[in-house]
């Protein structure tokens, strides 16, 4: 099978992670082009990975006839625009989450993908490709814990990375869309059901910018699905100990827990401070292998001509729930998720 030549849009924190993975960790893929408005970053990444082509204009990059696929890691409000440009140019597309900033944008993306049935589209819900979450999903599907009753998920970003977080906050779509999309996707994945009611609450405990944005720096939501399974999600921006993502799935015949202690390895440090484990310093470190695995899957789908499991419709479904959580937070009311 041929090598898949990929052009990647965006070289921020996650954009650089994807570019580096494509260049060094994904069999059958080649980082052939990169695009970013920051010319200094472009030059740096081109030199580091010996990338043949660089662009500051997405519309110019997608015209490159050598490219088979485009990876979209631009700011959320630009996702649908860049997905459209790439698919209209005949490229397969992988897009980072969320699919769009609004449900309307997600619907636009659906139409674009539907108009190009011979091209592949995959959305970056990378937790589905983390070995621990994949193992949990297999056990659920096997019936090992009976019927899923409750999914509990904590997602906390470390306070050490808050400067970049605050800079991005005005364009992020808010806590529920920016932070909770993975948790919402996992609820749908694990329960095999769509959330039908949400109640979002939270507050501003540390960073006043979120109050200006009519948002919270620490928020949570309770969900109930159509099959009556329940979920609780917490998303926070001020974890002192590191990047902390924890998930528990409670079933009628057992319980699964993933990363209840967010240790980066099995090392225990014994000192005058007692016994401790070091945590993941940031989300990139925690999810590195999942990011690699999802890009391997995307590349294999292109090479083998098969459709990815994660679809554009998953992006729309999650966006609907996240936006209703935000609306619930703002109105202080429990809301139905409108189809």
Nearest to 97 by CA among 210, 14, 156: 14
pLDDT tens for each residue of 257-295: 999 888 888 899 999 989 988 899 999 999 999 999 999
List C-alpha distances in Å: 63 to 2, 60, 66, 89, 90.
20, 5, 9, 6, 9
Q: Mean pLDDT of all residues in the chain?
A: 96
Question: Which residue has tokens 């990375």?
Answer: 161
What value does the mean pLDDT take over residues 227-248? 95
Confidence at residue 144, expressed as pLDDT on a 0 to 100 scale = 98
**Which CATH number describes the domain made up of 4-119?**
3.40.50.720
At 1, is the pLDDT very low, low, confident or very high (cuts 50, 70, 90)? low
pLDDT tens for each residue of 46-103: 999 999 999 999 999 999 999 999 999 999 999 999 999 999 999 999 999 999 999 9
Strands (E), the chain: 4-9, 29-35, 53-55, 69-72, 92-96, 121-124, 148-158, 195-203, 218-225, 230-239, 244-251, 255-258, 269-271, 274-276, 335-336
pTM of model > 0.75:
yes
pLDDT tens for each residue of 96-146: 999 999 999 999 999 999 999 999 999 999 999 999 999 999 999 999 999
Distance in angstroms (rounded) separating the CA atoms of residues 98 and 289: 20
What value does the mean pLDDT take over residues 191-197? 98
**Is the CATH number 3.30.2320.50 carried by domain 128-286+318-336?**
no
Peptide bond into 258 cis (omega under 30): no
195 vs 271 pLDDT, higher one? 195
Beta pairing partners, 95: 72, 123
Confidence at residue 265, expressed as pLDDT on a 0 to 100 scale = 86
pLDDT tens for each residue of 10-39: 999 999 999 999 999 999 999 999 999 999
Q: Is 123 exposed, middle or buried (0-12, 13-18, 19+ CB in 10 A)?
A: buried
What value does the mean pLDDT take over residues 206-228? 96
> What are the structural domain ranges in the chain?
4-119, 128-286+318-336
Confidence at residue 303, expressed as pLDDT on a 0 to 100 scale = 97
The pair of structure tokens assigned to 137 is 């999903």
Q: Is 275 exposed, middle or buried (0-12, 13-18, 19+ CB in 10 A)?
A: exposed
278 vs 226 pLDDT, higher one? 226
Q: 190 with 135: CB under 8 angstroms? A: no
pLDDT tens for each residue of 148-167: 999 999 999 999 999 989 99
At 338, is the pLDDT very low, low, confident or very high (cuts 50, 70, 90)? confident
Confidence at residue 293, expressed as pLDDT on a 0 to 100 scale = 98
């Amino acid at each position: 099978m041929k090598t898949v030549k990929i052009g990647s849009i965006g070289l921020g924190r996650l954009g650089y992670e994807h570019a580096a993975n494509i260049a060094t960790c994904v069999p059958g893929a080649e980082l052939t082009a990169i695009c970013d408005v920051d010319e200094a970053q472009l030059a740096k990444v081109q030199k580091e990975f010996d990338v043949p082509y660089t662009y500051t204009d997405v519309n110019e990059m997608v015209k490159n006839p050598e490219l088979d696929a485009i990876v979209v890691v631009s700011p959320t409000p630009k996702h649908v625009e860049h997905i459209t440009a790439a698919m209209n140019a005949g490229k397969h597309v992988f897009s980072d989450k969320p699919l769009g900033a609004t449900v309307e944008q997600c619907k636009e993306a659906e139409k674009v993908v539907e108009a190009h049935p011979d091209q592949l589209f995959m959305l970056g819900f990378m937790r589905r490709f983390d070995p621990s979450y994949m193992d949990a999903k297999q056990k659920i599907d096997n019936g090992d814990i009976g019927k899923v009753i409750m999914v509990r998920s904590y997602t906390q970003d470390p306070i050490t990375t808050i400067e970049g977080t605050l800079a991005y906050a005005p364009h992020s779509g808010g806590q529920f869309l920016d932070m909770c999309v993975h948790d919402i996707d996992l609820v749908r994945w694990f329960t095999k059901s769509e959330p039908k009611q949400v109640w979002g609450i939270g507050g501003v405990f540390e960073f006043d910018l979120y109050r200006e944005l009519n948002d919270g720096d620490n928020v949570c939501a309770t969900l109930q699905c159509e099959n009556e399974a329940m979920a609780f999600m917490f998303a926070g921006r001020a974890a002192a100990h590191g990047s902390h993502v924890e998930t528990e799935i409670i079933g009628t015949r057992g319980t699964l827990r993933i990363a209840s202690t967010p240790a980066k390895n099995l090392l225990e440090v014994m000192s005058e401070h007692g016994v401790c484990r070091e945590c993941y310093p940031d989300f990139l470190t925690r999810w590195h292998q999942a990011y690699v695995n999802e890009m391997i899957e995307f590349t294999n789908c292109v090479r083998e001509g098969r459709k990815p499991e994660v679809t554009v419709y998953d992006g729309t479904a999650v966006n609907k729930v996240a936006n209703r959580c935000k609306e619930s937070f703002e109105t202080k009311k429990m809301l139905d998720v409108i189809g």
